[in-house]
Chain A
């Protein structure tokens, strides 16, 4: 029963979710100590669950919508952990924890058949496509979270109240670095993932795939991504302006995800 471990992981992520909510209310300090271990445990069980699913389905790909949600959640928390190890801050959890929690929650709550049965789904290209895109997504979520934190901290410092000294948020430039690094790291994954995807689709559907809403949205998301990097390089956009772009990119990413349900090309059901 692959859901068992996933649900154990979910329990640990719930701690993260509570922490994120407390952080919004500016009183998460007491919980902060337990966060790395709780989330770390969640990650371990999550990994066990993912491995189990792969072994059961006997293929090295995401076999259902729920399973792909689970994988995305895992990647986000994995990125979060890298950031934690590098910067020793739990703050990006403010966005990473809820997103992971809900992705895992959705994944842990439904039994779906393994739907990917077409031979095309087993191709290496498709696996590359999914893995790369998901890594890109995970990075995007974290960079979105970082830009929200940036605005929070900026407002905090601009208010010139004594609380600006007491806040446990990381320094402004550190938040900025986290966001920028995530973006920088995610971009090649996203780009390569899209290329891999179009190779698969091209082979399967020919030029027609280009008119699919999901594909168009994905391209749009990629363009926003590109724009974020460009404005950063050319004029060092950060803070409010960067956050607007990140929000757009994040919103589009959610749409792209949702588009699975009305896309012809990109359905998880075998056609």
Chain B
């Protein structure tokens, strides 16, 4: 089994490129399904956030053409965007996924949202049946690694979130946030977080507009704010000093002419647009309007990165944790390869045991419950004793690159058929951690 990973992130591609590849939440299940069904791919998961699109796959012989899928799915010429794409295999793919989940690859290193986003992507992939044994083990392991990094290093503790950078910028524009109005366009988690930060620093009022009015109303209620029907967005936006956009709209909601109209209506008092949507909700031209300041997610990133140098040391410790975890997972992965064999071996012997007990049961006559138990225990004991050495050998062999030959030998010795092993595989998939 081979892990493959292809993706774009905030480091490899500018936002103009990333927004082309972003997959809307509603389309994600379908996209994941078609990814897992792509020739050569056994299992697959797609992670799409505003900073990255990652396609993780597990393939039998590692020959799956991920770039092919990429260009087919996004309808782009892969050779043209190859500068923006990165591709990892095996250990490198494992390492990358661990780093992503542990928020070491994040725009804001240590920010906590990414783990939730990976979990959501995993849930979607499981939901459409795109993830079982191997990829499942990898992803669930990445959660544990992320937790370990969080608890053993200080990377996450002082996370300068995008939200707090937004607050700092707002203060650079407005001085104090006292009495300022914040407009949330789109009711996402990130914008909610930013709004909470702004309120904590004195912002007075929250307005919320969302395509579904109910969500806007729910969010507005949380902040004691006011929900506004989406159709009135352009009529009301000039009331806000700070506008946070995070809608899934495919095209920019706010363009230059809107900005000019807003400013005219608010007598040129400055406006601050924080655009955390990908694709962007605010046209880049808007920043050219006098008195309007637009920061998209990339700009916040650069602003943030100047803050994180002091955390480089913690990040280094986190990286070494990742490294040991990659090795550990790699070792375990080989064990994982032998799991189906061990399971079918156990099943094979259990069937034999049952059959033998059934055969001689009649000849034993009536037994007391104690005696019944003794027979049961004795037969089980024999099997376990016999199996002990082979299983241990299999597990040790798993760490050795030659393990496949031993697996083959065991299968042939005990006459373990292919069909049985497949059945065992699907059984073991439900509980990938069963072997230790």
Chain A residues within CB distance 8 Å of chain B: 153-154, 157-158, 160-167, 170-174, 177, 235-241
Q: Give bound CA distance, A239 to B168, whole Å.
A: 21
Pair A174/B305 contact, Cβ less than 8 Å: no
* Of B264, B267, B293, B306, the contact of A157 (CB 8 Å cutoff): B293
Is B401 in contact with chain A by the CB < 8 A criterion?
A: no
8 nearest A-B residue pairs (beta carbon) = A236-B267, A162-B306, A171-B175, A236-B268, A160-B299, A174-B175, A173-B175, A172-B173
Q: Which chain B residues lie closer than 8 Å to A239 at the CB level? A: 268, 290-291
Pair B171/A162 contact, Cβ less than 8 Å: no
Pair B268/A235 contact, Cβ less than 8 Å: yes
Pair B305/A162 contact, Cβ less than 8 Å: yes
Q: Which chain B residues lie closer than 8 Å to A165 at the CB level? A: 165, 168-169, 172, 303, 306-307
Is B295 in contact with chain A by the CB < 8 A criterion?
A: yes
Pair A162/B302 contact, Cβ less than 8 Å: yes
Q: 16 more A-B contacts (CB under 8 A) besides A158-B287, A177-B175?
A: A153-B172, A157-B173, A160-B287, A160-B302, A164-B172, A165-B165, A165-B172, A170-B175, A171-B174, A171-B176, A172-B172, A172-B173, A173-B175, A235-B267, A236-B266, A239-B268
Say yes or no: A162-B303 contact (C-beta < 8 A), given A172-B270, A236-B268, A238-B268: yes
Q: Give bound CA distance, A164 to B168, whole Å.
A: 10
Closest to A171 in B: B175
Q: Give bound CA distance, A80 to B172, whole Å.
A: 21
Closest to B289 in A: A158
Is B269 in contact with chain A by the CB < 8 A criterion?
A: yes
Q: How far is the CB of A121 from chain B (nearest CB, A)?
A: 45
Q: Give bound CA distance, A160 to B165, whole Å.
A: 12
Residues of B103-147 whose CB lies within 8 A of A: none
Q: Which chain B residues lie closer than 8 Å to A237 at the CB level? A: 268
Q: How far is the CB of A242 from chain B (nearest CB, A)?
A: 9
Q: Which chain A residues lie closer than 8 Å to B295 at the CB level? A: 160
Q: Give bound CA distance, A161 to B270, whole Å.
A: 19
Q: Give bound CA distance, A163 to B305, whole Å.
A: 11
Closest to B266 in A: A236
17 A-B contacts, Cβ less than 8 Å apart?
A: A157-B293, A158-B293, A160-B295, A161-B302, A165-B307, A171-B171, A171-B176, A172-B173, A172-B175, A172-B270, A177-B175, A235-B268, A236-B266, A236-B267, A238-B291, A239-B291, A241-B290
Q: Which of B165, B266, B303, B305 has the most CB of A within 10 A?
A: B303
Residues of B263-281 whose CB lies within 8 A of A: 264, 266-270
Q: Which chain A residues lie closer than 8 Å to B264 at the CB level? A: 235
Q: How far is the CB of B69 from chain A (nearest CB, A)?
A: 35
Q: Which chain B residues lie closer than 8 Å to A240 at the CB level? A: 290
Chain B, 168-204, contact with A by CB distance < 8 Å: what is the 0/1 string?
1101111110000000000000000000000000000
Closest to A160 in B: B299
Q: Give bound CA distance, A165 to B267, whole Å.
A: 26
Q: Give bound CA distance, A240 to B270, whole Å.
A: 13
Closest to B171 in A: A171
Pair A157/B291 contact, Cβ less than 8 Å: no
Q: Give bound CA distance, A134 to B305, whole Å.
A: 48
Q: Give bound CA distance, A122 to B171, whole Å.
A: 51
Q: How far is the CB of B276 from chain A (nearest CB, A)?
A: 14
Q: Give bound CA distance, A161 to B300, whole Å.
A: 9
Q: Which chain A residues lie closer than 8 Å to B175 at the CB level? A: 170-174, 177
Q: Which chain B residues lie closer than 8 Å to A167 at the CB level? A: 172
Q: Give bound CA distance, A170 to B171, whole Å.
A: 9
Chain B, 207-219, contact with A by CB distance < 8 Å: what is the 0/1 string?
0000000000000
Say yes or no: A171-B172 contact (C-beta < 8 A), given A158-B293, A165-B165, A238-B291: yes
Say yes or no: A173-B306 contact (C-beta < 8 A), given A157-B172, A158-B287: no
Q: Which of A165, A167, A240 has the most CB of B within 10 A?
A: A165
Pair A173/B293 contact, Cβ less than 8 Å: no
Q: How far is the CB of A6 from chain B (nearest CB, A)?
A: 37
Q: Give bound CA distance, A142 to B417, whole Å.
A: 90
Q: How far is the CB of A90 from chain B (nearest CB, A)?
A: 16
Closest to A176 in B: B270
Q: Give bound CA distance, A101 to B165, whole Å.
A: 39
Say yes or no: A236-B173 contact (C-beta < 8 A), given A160-B287, A162-B303, A241-B290: no
Q: How far is the CB of A182 from chain B (nearest CB, A)?
A: 17
Q: Give bound CA distance, A166 to B270, whole Å.
A: 20
Q: Which chain B residues lie closer than 8 Å to A170 at the CB level? A: 175
Q: How far is the CB of A170 from chain B (nearest CB, A)?
A: 7
Pair B269/A236 contact, Cβ less than 8 Å: yes
Q: How far is the CB of B241 from chain A (nearest CB, A)?
A: 9
Q: Give bound CA distance, A170 to B176, whole Å.
A: 11
Q: Give bound CA distance, A177 to B264, whole Å.
A: 19
Q: Which of A170, A174, A177 has the most CB of B within 10 A?
A: A174
Q: Give bound CA distance, A69 to B291, whole Å.
A: 37
Q: Which chain A residues lie closer than 8 Å to B303 at the CB level? A: 160, 162, 164-165
Q: How far is the CB of B350 from chain A (nearest CB, A)?
A: 64
Closest to B272 in A: A157
Closest to A237 in B: B268
Q: How far is the CB of A183 from chain B (nearest CB, A)?
A: 15
Q: Which of A161, A164, A171 has the most CB of B within 10 A?
A: A164
Q: Which chain A residues lie closer than 8 Å to B269 at the CB level? A: 236
Q: Which chain B residues lie closer than 8 Å to A161 at the CB level? A: 302
Q: Give bound CA distance, A237 to B173, whole Å.
A: 16
Closest to A157 in B: B293
Pair B174/A172 contact, Cβ less than 8 Å: yes
Q: Give bound CA distance, A241 to B268, whole Å.
A: 11
Q: Which chain B residues lie closer than 8 Å to A235 at the CB level? A: 264, 267-268
Pair A173/B270 contact, Cβ less than 8 Å: yes
* Of B169, B266, B268, B287, the contact of A164 (CB 8 Å cutoff): B169
Q: How far is the CB of B285 from chain A (nearest CB, A)?
A: 12
Q: Give bound CA distance, A120 to B267, whole Å.
A: 47
Q: How far is the CB of B327 from chain A (nearest CB, A)?
A: 36
Q: Which chain A residues lie closer than 8 Å to B174 at the CB level? A: 171-173
Residues of B301-335 whose CB lies within 8 A of A: 302-303, 305-307
